[in-house]
Amino acid sequence: MKVTVIGLGYVGSVAAAGLAAAGHDVVGVDIDRARVKAFTAGRVPIYEPDLGKIVAEGMASRHLLFRHADEFVGSAGDVVLVATGTPPTPTGAADLDQVRAAIAWVKTAQPRGCVIAVKSTVPPGTGRRLKETLLRHNSFQYVSNPEFLREGQAVHDWFHPDRIVIGGSAPAAVEAVRSLYSGIKAPVVVTDTSSAEMIKYAANAFLATRISLINEIAALCDRLGASIDDVVSGIGLDPRIGRHFLRAGVGYGGSCFPKDVRAFDQLALNNAYSFELLRAVITVNNRQRLLPIYALRERFASLSNLDVAVLGASFKPNTDDVRESPALDAVPLLVDEGARVRIYDPVAGEQARTRLPGSVEITGTLVECVRGTQAILLLTEWSEFLEADWEGLANLVAEPRFLFDGRNALDPSKMLTLGYEYCGIGRGNHRLTGALATPRAAVP
């Protein structure tokens, strides 16, 4: 099948290369010249494991090519996938300008009509409205086809999805989208466009709720001397609960959860409904992101001239995406309070630069980052940090070797034995108010 994919971000580029791998003839289109140039030259301009490999294979097999939107010639094909961004407006609602522009482009590039399958995350009801407005009186069929790709695992998720969701009213259009995925084994949920759009928002809201719920329970664990690790083991064995998305930490970030959860809240308000639970999820997440600074304020009388190492800049490991990264929230506050901050990330250092105060030093190695600092904040659980020689590093770090593990990624007793003042989240040794509790492992 001939397919055009509009928008070469994390979702669009993976979709384009994934469809090419299945033998479809795919053109990836974008309005960003530098991005199109990079893909055309075989350079993937984003860090996404395995994407470079499938892009190269797609180009070598001639099933995949890239074009700037202004230079596109010929037919856009039977199905056009829209994977443009839906950034937040100042109110938090989803800005649909890029989606509308993509649809306008399709109408010009493919005047005879085609199936327009929207992967971009849009508020429920968007497809119905677009059909009544932009796509009225013509031969375009609108289908909602939300994506559930996790950054860092997007290529794997493309080929092994949990489900494929297709929302549309025209059976032929639904079948055309279904056939794009004919080589992939996964349950297919066919529904109307609004329900398909709602599935995406509901999934993000549900997962974000789990994270905020476990973070609330972790806060109580700290106050009551319980262990969040054991609590999760205990509740996770209940098949009605499971262990997924119950990792306490400095909160969720990234290009999806924060934006989509806020947009869902705004959508509810626009429809005369106050989504109280979702508001609490957002409030808890905002608080979690400040835990590193609360912990430092509790431990040190003043942050002025304190040397702090921040480990991690991306919103999670295996991506260079720093959008809404909890790791970067704390840094400007630390700088404001007079701390001298260094930061190290295995891949996202450069991406972080524009988000950081000028005084922050971005180091090229973990060792340079921690050397001589009194406090370490581990905020992204890159495997490089998990596997680091913490014993060797302890010799480079100055007293009191305060180690805030914002992702509960390290072994507390090992870190205490190595001489760090270890502080995790919900591991019974951290309080948000009052002095830090005595580390559990040190209690006789």
What's the min distance (Å) between Cβ of 5 and ligand UDX? 16
Task: Please state, in angstroms and rounded to a whole number, the distance separating the CA atoms of residues 299 and 381.
Answer: 23
> Tokens standing for 392?
């060797």
Residue with Cβ nearer ligand UDX (148 or 264)? 148
The upper half-sphere exposure of residue 192, i.e. CA atoms within 13 Å in the direction of its Cβ, equals: 7
257 binds ligand UDX (CB under 6 A): yes
48 binds ligand UDX (CB under 6 A): no
254 binds ligand UDX (CB under 6 A): yes
SS3 content of the chain, % helix, strand, coil (to 5): 40, 15, 45
The footprint of ligand UDX on this chain (CB under 6 A) covers a number of residues equal to 17
245 binds ligand UDX (CB under 6 A): yes
What's the min distance (Å) between Cβ of 62 and ligand UDX? 29
Mark residues 285-324: x for contact with ligand UDX by CB under 6 A, - for none: ------------------------------xx--------
Among 7, 124, 249, 292, the residue binding ligand UDX under the rule CB under 6 A is 249
256 is annotated as an active-site residue: yes
What's the min distance (Å) between Cβ of 207 and ligand UDX? 6
Nearest residue to 338 (alpha-carbon basis) of 319, 316, 357: 357
> Tokens standing for 323?
């959008």
Residue with Cβ nearer ligand UDX (379 or 397)? 379
246 binds ligand UDX (CB under 6 A): yes
Question: What Cα–Cα distance (Å) separates residue 179 from each residue in 11, 24, 147, 305?
Answer: 19, 10, 16, 61
What's the min distance (Å) between Cβ of 247 and ligand UDX? 3
405 binds ligand UDX (CB under 6 A): no
Q: For residue 2, what are the β-bridge partners?
A: 25
Stretch in the footprint of ligand UDX (CB under 6 A) among 102-110, 145-153, 191-199, 266-274: 145-153
> Tokens standing for 368?
């340079």
129 binds ligand UDX (CB under 6 A): no
148 binds ligand UDX (CB under 6 A): yes
Characterize 39-57 residue by residue with b for buried, 16 or more Cβ atoms within 10 angstroms of its Cβ, and e for exposed. beeeebebbbebbbebbee
Residue with Cβ nearer ligand UDX (30 or 324)? 324
Task: Please state, in angstroms and rounded to a whole number, the distance separating the CA atoms of residues 233 and 210.
Answer: 15
7 binds ligand UDX (CB under 6 A): no
Q: Where are the alpha helices (DSSP H) in 46-169?
A: 51-60, 97-109, 126-132, 154-159
416 neighbors 442 (Cβ within 8 angstroms): yes
Task: Please state, in angstroms and rounded to a whole number, the distance separating the CA atoms of residues 108 and 112.
Answer: 9
The secondary element (H helix, E strand) that includes residue 284 is: helix 276-288
Mark residues 199-228: x for contact with ligand UDX by CB under 6 A, - for none: ------------x-----------------
Mark residues 317-346: x for contact with ligand UDX by CB under 6 A, - for none: ------------------------------
Query: In 3-state terms, what secondary structure has residue 15?
Result: helix
149 neighbors 157 (Cβ within 8 angstroms): yes
Residue nearest to ligand UDX (CB): 256
Residue 145: φ, ψ to 5°: -140, 70
150 binds ligand UDX (CB under 6 A): yes
> Tokens standing for 319?
């991506």
149 binds ligand UDX (CB under 6 A): yes
Residue with Cβ nearer ligand UDX (99 or 256)? 256
Stretch in the footprint of ligand UDX (CB under 6 A) among 102-110, 227-235, 248-256, 421-429: 248-256
Stretch in the footprint of ligand UDX (CB under 6 A) among 36-44, 184-192, 242-250, 431-439: 242-250
Nearest residue to 306 (alpha-carbon basis) of 379, 377, 367: 377
Residue with Cβ nearer ligand UDX (148 or 275)? 148
312 neighbors 381 (Cβ within 8 angstroms): yes
Cis peptide before 146 (omega within 30 of 0): no
Which residues form the catalytic set? Answer: 256
Residues that bind ligand UDX (CB under 6 A): 147-151, 211, 245-247, 249, 252-254, 256-257, 315-316
